[in-house]
Structure 1
Amino acid sequence: MTTATHLRTIAVRWTDLQDALATTGTTAWPPAGRMADYLRALEDADAELAEAARWQAAYTRQYLDRDPQQVGATRPPLRIEILDTMRTVETALVAVGDQVAAAVQRSPMPFAPRSWPAADRARRDALARADACDPRRWRYGGRHTAPHTALWLLARVQGRPGPFRPLPDREARLIAATAADACTRVETALDIAARTATIADPCPDCGGRLEMHGGAGATPAAHCRGCGRIWTGQDTAAA
């Protein structure tokens, strides 16, 4: 994936993260424990998610039925791992935005000297005010969201017009590295990224190395690099 694709993904998927804040979380990756425990966990996953959804709905109804002034009234719990991802990504992107703006954003056009003729001064001052208020400018200390920052950085990568100088190589590399890491965090939090991890326990058949594959909507599966055997959530005989 290119830097532009990473930045677009962050901007587009941000609402998905917001929607996922109050939904049931996913299990840790890779699953811990013995192989048989993992396979049994796969079979039970749907039932656990359904039970969690029922609990969440009941909790939400209970909260909505309560008097807001009543002691102990609280909002339904949020998914902390999603919230942490959003804060981490947004903080990193905004910090990069500050650094890139310092390197590429030119200062606003100065106002006309008082000695200029009135008509010329009025035209120059109008241009200066428009330049200073240009919505394409990065506002230091402003409240920047992750989607807005990602799209602003995308415009700098693509060399879009505005009150900016060309993007230096150092800042381009900074954007690329930060965008790639942020995109990975977003996709991992939403479980839409393909993932691979090595399982500590050996293959029960040949003692070879086991790898777990999943994510991106795929059913998690374990693959032995030695004998080639594959386990999925439908397998119950592995030990």
Structure 2
Amino acid sequence: MTTATHLRTIATRWTDLTDALASTGTATWPPAGRMSDYLNALDQADEQLAEAARWQATYNRQFLDRDPTQIGATRPPLRIAILDTMRTVEAALIATGDQVAVAVQRSPMTFAPRTWPAADRARRDQLARADSVDPRRWRYGGRHTAPHTALWLLARVEARPGPFRPLPAREHRLIVNVASEACERVERALDIAGRKATIARPCPDCGGSIDMHGGAGASPVAHCTACGRTWGEQDATAAA
């Protein structure tokens, strides 16, 4: 996918993430069963973040949010993995917006000197006021959302008109990298993208490397890249 597609996907799928936040999601990838043993290292960094968030959420429910007279555990009101994805993506996009704006956004037009004729000064001041409040401007420290920021970055990539200079190569590369990673996180959280991972254990037949393919609603399949043997969900069920 192109950078423009990545940014549009983030903007259009954000509502889906919001809806998924309060839903009951139980699907995981890789799936439970015999084959999942092969992928214990998949997404360790993200899982550590999610695990920390789950511990914090448990603490908050037990010691901050709950009445001391209540007993027993309750299900978290939000899906922590989705919340972690939304916070991570939004923070990365806004930080990118801040950095890109420094490089491309020109300063607002200055007001006219008092020495100018009254009519000229009035016209110049009117233009300066309009320029300073141009809605296309990036507001540092503003209350930006991920969809708004993604579309603002898209406009810079596509060189849309406004109070901006051309996008430098360094900032363009930054947007490319951040958009790709952010889009991948969004699609992974929603399980709408195919996924692939190399399994830690070798093939039991030939010792070759095993890749697992899945996600996007497809049943996971493990495939030996050396001898070609494959394992499907039915194999994992039969072996369980």
User: 1:108-145, CA deviations, whole angstroms, 9 ceiling, x for partnerless residues?
Assistant: 11111122222221111111110001000000010000
Could you say what secondary structure the match of 1:234 adopts? Answer: helix
Distance 2:159 2:144 in 1: 20
Give the aligned partner of residue 230 of structure 2: 230
The 3 A distance-change label for structure 1 pair 158 and 212 is: same
Whether the 8 Å CA contact 2:30–2:214 is kept in 1: the answer is no
Could you say what secondary structure the match of 2:234 adopts? Answer: coil
The 3 A distance-change label for structure 1 pair 36 and 84 is: closer
The 3 A distance-change label for structure 1 pair 33 and 70 is: closer
2:199 aligned partner, one-letter code: I
Q: What is the correspondence of 1:173-184 to structure 2 with a 5 Å cutoff? A: 173-184=173-184
The 3 A distance-change label for structure 1 pair 225 and 32 is: farther
Give the aligned partner of residue 23 of structure 2: 23
The 3 A distance-change label for structure 1 pair 204 and 148 is: same
Q: What is the correspondence of 1:36-75 to structure 2 with a 5 Å cutoff? A: none
User: 1:81-126, CA deviations, whole angstroms, 9 ceiling, x for partnerless residues?
Assistant: 1111111111011011011111111111111112222222111111
What displacement does 1:23 show?
A: 1.8
Q: Please state if 1:216 is matched with 2:216.
A: yes
The 3 A distance-change label for structure 1 pair 31 and 202 is: farther
The 3 A distance-change label for structure 1 pair 37 and 98 is: closer
Q: Please state if 1:141 is matched with 2:138.
A: no
What displacement does 1:203 show?
A: 3.9
What displacement does 1:204 show?
A: 4.7
Whether the 8 Å CA contact 1:97–1:153 is kept in 2: the answer is yes
The two structures have a TM-score, normalised by structure 1, of 0.78
Could you say what secondary structure the match of 1:107 adopts? Answer: coil
Give the aligned partner of residue 194 of structure 2: 194
User: 1:166-198, CA deviations, whole angstroms, 9 ceiling, x for partnerless residues?
Assistant: 011111111111111111111111111111112
Q: Please state if 1:111 is matched with 2:111.
A: yes
Distance 1:36 1:92 in 2: 31
The 3 A distance-change label for structure 1 pair 36 and 181 is: closer
The two structures have a TM-score, normalised by structure 2, of 0.78
2:184 aligned partner, one-letter code: T
Q: Give me the CA root mean square deviation.
A: 2.7
Whether the 8 Å CA contact 1:109–1:132 is kept in 2: the answer is yes
Distance 1:223 1:238 in 2: 17
What is the number of residues matched between the two proteins? 210
Give the aligned partner of residue 157 of structure 2: 157
1:92 aligned partner, one-letter code: A
Question: What percent of counterpart residues are identical?
Answer: 79
Q: For structure 2, which runs of at least 5 residues remain unmatched after alignment?
A: 39-66
What displacement does 1:35 show?
A: 3.3
User: 1:59-78, CA deviations, whole angstroms, 9 ceiling, x for partnerless residues?
Assistant: xxxxxxxxxx9975x89621
The 3 A distance-change label for structure 1 pair 119 and 212 is: same
2:212 aligned partner, one-letter code: M
Q: Which stretch has the larger CA shift, 26-35 or 159-168?
A: 26-35
The 3 A distance-change label for structure 1 pair 238 and 204 is: farther
The 3 A distance-change label for structure 1 pair 189 and 13 is: same
Distance 2:68 2:13 in 1: 37
Whether the 8 Å CA contact 1:35–1:201 is kept in 2: the answer is no
